[in-house]
Structure 1
């Protein structure tokens, strides 16, 4: 209770103070314990949590303490942190603007200059600012595609990519220290007068637009008027820039879902503002059908992800998976460049098809742990004069094309996908034709993910599998096992190789015929995440539909048999 009263004395927000007083007056002990028994953990994704009073929620005091911790770490790490400063942007959620301003004013009190967007900004537009303005970091206040009650605080390092260890731990240490001290804070007027707060206005957004329009990768204009598309911003902040970039690229038949176009942090027309969720794309697909559009496209609310449904022969629309879009991008972009000098990559849980496309083009390929932060940070380490970074993706609808933004960017991805589609249309082909062509060359690659609840009283699944390793999975012989905790790849003949990936509690089983299952035990619950891949070759002259049905049946058997073996 002392913690609660101390918090009330420090909280700058009358709204959350009142919320906390009501919890006290109503003796809601369980709710108070939920908010005060721990602190919202700062990690490589920064902060993310429900908005509310207390250290285990997102609120102005937590944001100010986080900004103070971040600022102190920047001062410790960069001798020129004050002059170079930090770029800050925010999404359309109710508290995001206030949280962004609080961040800027705490940094200003530490003498660190802030470049704050004058309006909402898509996450890639803010990440772009690190390299463009040569800042030491960036902060985006966003909860991306989480439900309305959430908000977040995402941090980028001076290389323009999301932070990775050990920076996250160093920042977390400084946040804990900042939480024990008075918060440094300047007024907005003082920060402006001391030139410690600079507003990023229309010319900044224009700089991002110009940079993308100048990119050679977004300049393959092949009859853009030959296709049409519907678009949804999913009540987020992507619409203005998405529509502008499409217009710049010559796409003049773009239909935006009016009910979802403008920022609205309550997300009134979707149950969950994530394009991957069932029903989230219904309105944009309905609008596409109304106009007989080629594509139905969407960004998530902070516009760093891109989703697309493609018109079928029946006139309906079918969603592409992230792996399908990533494979199409890989083939398209490598065909537009000197592939032998290009570097492409994806994560361990994404399809292996990209690696085969890269090999077919003679390109360089790399693989990382799950999380976009790894894709971009590792790409910077791996690229050379003979292997320039071109493209990377993760299966959860995240894509980065070129080096304008060192993070996933749903705005540029949409333009490139529209150009890819228009080029195929000019040749009398569809996206489905192109996918079939890739599958005929490399085999149908199907990917699926399942979370499996385990017996809480059973031994930890990771330890169990390591102690008594299986020899077959779902009736298939195991060719090799990658144990990321040990950093080893063990082949069926007993040969052991080292793996160049950070240690992680992950087991990857490569099976005969190319199938694969990845097992990621939960560190906090008796459950395991499993990622499955089935590869089904298409026989010469075989009907595609027949091979696809066979692949789907194989996947169903694979999942059923494997899950049964874990329980």
Structure 2
């Protein structure tokens, strides 16, 4: 009998198995492929986060895999924190299937260990959880969410006591405790009826909302008198069936943005209608239709988690152009720097990932502000902000290309609520100058260069695909190309070796970033390419950027880079006899 079959038999024989899961197991008996996929491994943790399809099995999100994660967290906290029981853990959830149920199961396990828990009464946007950790001073936070995965998924994301997603080092330590409880079916927990009696659970209502909105008010760059004025801009807002509506709406109203038109069809949290394809712009269609109807200046769309923001701007022709995350981040950065006190520039810092546009660095440089690069993932930006508490540096703005922004460090994760309010304020400011955000973007291009970015991915198929990904990455690192698309390679950053090598003179220096299996090539003319393997999705992601003297020049360079990378990868795959899906 195979190992996965033994685990399945154990589950099937478990007399106290949840009835709904038992019913699903009965159905799975007739589908050997799905049955094996449900039990052949345990759900993997990324950086303090696991997610998967909802259903029975060790490779699925269900009450038993959630209990096991909660049990690991309890033991991890007792080993790494002080006063754990009294400080407690704050737990929140989004609007996906089983979210509140998984949150309650987490509470039951933590309560068994006597750990106080703060549980939100209803679904909230993810950045509010980050804020709540800091507000209550808890040892950790848990968000039940699957980020941008399809509606059939859910997840378990862990935040540290600083309100940031776990760092890689913290996550590795936490994951080590998963193995302490081999049998997920026997995790100890308290029954729900005992939670209230023991006074160990605190239901979070609107206290956090009020505190968050009070902090949100003070991120504005407008003078107090300007804040009180009615704003003559029309905003269309689409929450995309997530729970961000109340906070975004009230955040805008605080600054007297009262011409907000809601996309009613996408206003109510609804897991069946969750849209995860905002980056492909289909989710903007209803907002665009409403925008044309009301002649809106700006369209805002928060991702279902309320953590990322998409923005579309009205063009001179009356249509709407969706900004990329790199474009909006650059415009926001310029607005914030333009309205920040130059007396604190010396210690102010902009933080972005290594695959985010270099236009951000160019803008920051023009204001004499230092830019700090991190690895991909907003957990690294949150970690860096925490370091500023002891270094004397000041956080000014953080962003990633994936529509992720943080304006103020009172939260330590990407925050679409902050970004929505700041974007509306920025549109208002520039409209008074007779400009749209597209005009401002063109001004930035003319001043700094026409920066454009692109991405592509190769998903591998067949057995041992993870080892094949490693082989491809090793080939690029051990035998790096001398040029890509006719552009010479000037500098190579190998994040696994934590080494930066200068090609011309062969000199090398250390990179002060965590170890990661990634490599970035800096090319002539401010172009660059970065390779990032994704072991969970079994693919290699390419990021690349260019900077031309005109938009046409940049588009041609970007197209050349993309086609060249495709050819290079195909050749590499053929040499290794690897099948791929582009």
- TM norm. shorter chain > 0.5: yes
Partner of 2:254: 248
1:477 to 2:488 alignment: yes
CA contact 1:146–1:274 (8 Å) conserved in 2: no
Matches for 1:227-266 after TM superposition, within 5 Å? 227-266=233-272
Partner of 1:100: 103
Which is worse superposed, 251-260 or 499-508? 499-508
Q: Distance in 1 between matches of 2:389 and 2:85?
A: 30
Partner of 1:20: 25
The alignment partner of 1:378 has SS state of: helix
Q: Distance in 2 between matches of 1:30 and 1:168?
A: 31
Q: Distance in 1 between matches of 2:243 and 2:535?
A: 34
Which is worse superposed, 237-246 or 415-424? 237-246
CA contact 1:11–1:61 (8 Å) conserved in 2: no
Partner of 1:543: none
What's the CA shift string for 1:306-337, capped at 9, x where partnerless?
11010001111111000011111111111221
The alignment partner of 1:518 has SS state of: strand
Partner of 2:575: none
CA contact 1:364–1:387 (8 Å) conserved in 2: no
1:303 to 303, 306, 326: 306
Partner of 1:542: none
The alignment partner of 1:494 has SS state of: coil
1:206 to 2:210 alignment: yes
Partner of 1:281: 284
1:441 to 436, 443, 447: 447
Structure 1 residue 50, shift from structure 2 partner: 0.6
Count of matched residue positions in the alignment of Structure 1 and Structure 2: 553
CA contact 1:87–1:116 (8 Å) conserved in 2: yes
TM-score by length of 1: 0.93
Partner of 1:4: 8
1:174 to 2:177 alignment: yes
1:412 to 2:407 alignment: no
CA contact 1:343–1:383 (8 Å) conserved in 2: no
CA contact 2:220–2:422 (8 Å) conserved in 1: no
What's the CA shift string for 1:130-164, capped at 9, x where partnerless?
11000000011111222110001111000110011
CA contact 2:97–2:154 (8 Å) conserved in 1: no
Q: Distance in 2 between matches of 1:296 and 1:204?
A: 27
1:333 to 2:344 alignment: no
CA contact 1:342–1:386 (8 Å) conserved in 2: no
Q: Distance in 1 between matches of 2:178 and 2:223?
A: 44
Taking a change above 3 Å as real, the CA distance of residues 452 and 69 of structure 1, as seen in their structure-2 partners, is closer
Q: Distance in 1 between matches of 2:223 and 2:210?
A: 17
Structure 1 residue 350, shift from structure 2 partner: 0.4
Which is worse superposed, 197-206 or 485-494? 485-494
Structure 1 residue 11, shift from structure 2 partner: 6.0
1:361 to 2:373 alignment: no
What's the CA shift string for 1:375-419, capped at 9, x where partnerless?
110232246665201210111011111111011110111000100
1:563 to 2:566 alignment: yes
1:516 to 517, 525, 528: 528
CA contact 1:218–1:416 (8 Å) conserved in 2: no
Structure 1 residue 10, shift from structure 2 partner: 6.8
Which is worse superposed, 301-310 or 340-349? 340-349
Gaps in structure 1 of 5+ consecutive residues: 538-546
CA contact 2:54–2:153 (8 Å) conserved in 1: yes
Which is worse superposed, 382-391 or 60-69? 382-391
What's the CA shift string for 1:265-300, capped at 9, x where partnerless?
111xx6x42321341111111111111101111111
1:187 to 2:191 alignment: yes
The alignment partner of 1:161 has SS state of: coil
Partner of 2:382: 376
Q: Distance in 1 between matches of 2:324 and 2:16?
A: 44
Structure 1 residue 248, shift from structure 2 partner: 1.2
TM-score by length of 2: 0.90
